[in-house]
Structure 1
Amino acid sequence: MSDWEVVLKNNYEQLVGYLVAYVPQIIGALVLLLIGWLIAFLFGRLTLTLVSFTGKLLNRAGNALSLNKSVSIKPQHAKIISRTVFWLIMIFFFAASLSSLGIEFIATWLRELLGYLPNVLAGIVIVVGGFLIGNVAKTMAEAAASSTGIKYSTRIGILTKWMIVGIAIVVGIEQLGMNIQFITTLIIVEVAIFSFGIALAYGLGSKELVKNLVGSRQAGKHLHIGEYIQIGEYRGKVLGFLQTSLELETENGRVLIPAKIYNELPCEILLFNETDNDEKIASQKAPR
């Protein structure tokens, strides 16, 4: 037998020996992967069911609060979450399989990745929660602004949402271990300045609105529909008390006057004789 035949034979025998020695480990790794796939599949389906059920609960709660479009979880989002859970479990079993085969450098890298993933998941949860809370706050801000007659209620709602989302993103990034203290401080200062400006503008802008609201409430307590009154230059029959105004029927027709006038000017209740319709002025000031 020639030298090269001997070398070839020895290499073949060594290869067969390695394969025989590694067959149990390969089989064990494949079994681990199969078990991991089954567990990952089950947990993925369970996660999909739980997220879908949570979405239905949020929809029901949203319907009760008229916020159903803001807090709903879409089916594709539930699928993304379930697939994420599936692959997290698969990565764990990949690392275990590689470790059983002696491929430690890849297994070590995967284990380090798994150790860092909780922070990533926490950051994702914070950001997603920020979006949900931001949507709810957007709807509530729009409703509050609309109820007070503010013209740009939609813009206020959008701005409120993205303020909350921005804070959630910053907190989520910090959860990843990144040092963004300067950005965090800057955002907090800007949000504080913006909130103060909004509060100041709203307070100044709603001063007249509050006066009218209070005036309408006081007029409704002391006046009655059908009475004839003289208040400032307006004289007529009381037809109703609106949210911010008084409705009178005058000689020239129906007129709406700002309700704040009731608290600012003397108000006389006029008495009429039912037969000749002569006016007798009671000269009494409506009680406050």
Structure 2
Amino acid sequence: MLEIFEQEATNVITTVITLLPDLLGAVLMLLLGWLLARFLRMAITRLARAFNTLVAGRFYGTNSEFARIPTTVQQLLGATVFWATILVFVAVSVRLMGFDGVAHWLERLVVYLPSLLSGGLIIIAGAIIGSASRKLITHAAETADIARPELLGQSSQVAFIVVGLIIGLGQIGVDVTFLIMLFGIVLATVLAGFSLAFGLGAKPLVENLIANQHLKLLVKPGQQVACGSLHGRVLEFTATGVLLETEHGRTLLPAKLFMEQSLSLITSEKKDGN
């Protein structure tokens, strides 16, 4: 019994001694990978902070600081680079230990890693560009005094995020056919809704524009006209209306009113001297 125990112990010690160089090599490889991963994560984070400092110093006091990289994005980039590096060195270490099955699986994952990283970077870039476009378009809309500037900015942000997500998932290898179809349907529905709302909202404006063009062929500034119960002298034509001088003062009438009601041109009659 003692001899069997001694034989097994000898076999274990022999195996450990045999695997010791590979084990030490794997441990050193993991340590090297951990150090390199920490260095790359620190380098990525510092580069992002340096970029933000440059942007803040160059565009201080302006609205151009939208180009700054958010802190969450910095941390996400650093973590992605860190774990990608760790994964590569783990695959190498497992191969050194002789675990061919696990090493083969990890190596396939490492080969797939560039597509995964590029897809993730595209998605992150879409989020960054979307955030920047939201601030830029909102500021431009506020400067141009456009109604609901926040809605325009948020719409542009969502569009960039969705496009980045679709392209990124496609780069990773996910079938995005359904997402593309869904995005196309939603976009077509939104555009149709905007077109319908614009058409209904612009109907009075279009009617006045067309009526104003016809009215200019019949009436000239300075003429006396009567439209319904109102009468006065035409002072000028605006883009969509007619400015009259009446007995009560100046009155601006929509041009389509002259087409909907009876219009009379008042001419002065010459009196005979007889």
TM tier, shorter chain?
A: 0.5 to 0.7
Q: 1:261: which partner in 2?
A: 238
Map Cα deviations across residues 226-250 of structure 1 (whole Å, 9 max, x no partner).
xxxx999xxxxxxxxxxxxxxxxxx
Q: How has the CA–CA distance of structure 1 residues 123 and 184 changed in structure 2, closer, same or farther, with 3 Å as cutoff?
A: same
Residue 29 (structure 1) shift: 1.3
Contact 1:62–1:71 (Cα < 8 Å) also in 2 = no
Residue 67 (structure 1) shift: 3.6
Residue 207 (structure 1) shift: 9.9
Give the Cα–Cα distance (whole angstroms) in 2 for the partners of residues 164 and 18 of structure 1. 58
Q: 1:10: which partner in 2?
A: 7
Q: 1:51: which partner in 2?
A: 48
Contact 1:231–1:262 (Cα < 8 Å) also in 2 = no
Q: How has the CA–CA distance of structure 1 residues 231 and 158 changed in structure 2, closer, same or farther, with 3 Å as cutoff?
A: farther
Q: 1:95: which partner in 2?
A: 91
Map Cα deviations across residues 110-163 of structure 1 (whole Å, 9 max, x no partner).
212212222221122112111222122222332343344443221222122112
Q: How has the CA–CA distance of structure 1 residues 55 and 130 changed in structure 2, closer, same or farther, with 3 Å as cutoff?
A: same
Q: Unaligned stretches of 5+ in structure 1? A: 212-229, 233-258, 268-288
Question: Which residue identity lines up with residue 31 of structure 2 in the other structure?
Answer: L
Contact 2:22–2:97 (Cα < 8 Å) also in 1 = yes
* Larger RCO, structure (CA 8 Å, separation 6 or more): 2
Identity of aligned residues (%): 22
Partner SS state of residue 67, structure 2: coil
Residue 14 (structure 1) shift: 0.8
Q: 1:188: which partner in 2?
A: 184
Give the Cα–Cα distance (whole angstroms) in 2 for the partners of residues 262 and 144 of structure 1. 26
Q: How has the CA–CA distance of structure 1 residues 266 and 159 changed in structure 2, closer, same or farther, with 3 Å as cutoff?
A: closer
Give the Cα–Cα distance (whole angstroms) in 2 for the partners of residues 12 and 151 of structure 1. 83
Give the Cα–Cα distance (whole angstroms) in 2 for the partners of residues 265 and 182 of structure 1. 54
Q: How has the CA–CA distance of structure 1 residues 141 and 196 changed in structure 2, closer, same or farther, with 3 Å as cutoff?
A: farther
Q: 1:106: which partner in 2?
A: 102
Residue 62 (structure 1) shift: 5.8
Give the Cα–Cα distance (whole angstroms) in 2 for the partners of residues 71 and 207 of structure 1. 42
Contact 2:45–2:75 (Cα < 8 Å) also in 1 = yes
Q: 2:212: which partner in 1?
A: none
Give the Cα–Cα distance (whole angstroms) in 2 for the partners of residues 177 and 262 of structure 1. 56
Question: Which residue identity lines up with residue 129 of structure 2 in the other structure?
Answer: I
| 1:81 lines up with 2:77 in the alignment | yes
| 1:139 lines up with 2:135 in the alignment | yes
Give the Cα–Cα distance (whole angstroms) in 2 for the partners of residues 138 and 199 of structure 1. 22
Q: How has the CA–CA distance of structure 1 residues 122 and 260 changed in structure 2, closer, same or farther, with 3 Å as cutoff?
A: farther
Q: How has the CA–CA distance of structure 1 residues 126 and 102 changed in structure 2, closer, same or farther, with 3 Å as cutoff?
A: same
Residue 8 (structure 1) shift: 0.9
Q: State the number of aligned residues.
A: 221
Residue 26 (structure 1) shift: 1.2
Give the Cα–Cα distance (whole angstroms) in 2 for the partners of residues 198 and 63 of structure 1. 37
Alignment TM-score, normalising by the size of structure 1: 0.63
Q: How has the CA–CA distance of structure 1 residues 89 and 123 changed in structure 2, closer, same or farther, with 3 Å as cutoff?
A: same
More helix by share: 2
Residue 90 (structure 1) shift: 1.5
Alignment TM-score, normalising by the size of structure 2: 0.66
Residue 57 (structure 1) shift: 3.8
Q: Unaligned stretches of 5+ in structure 2? A: 209-220, 224-235, 245-274
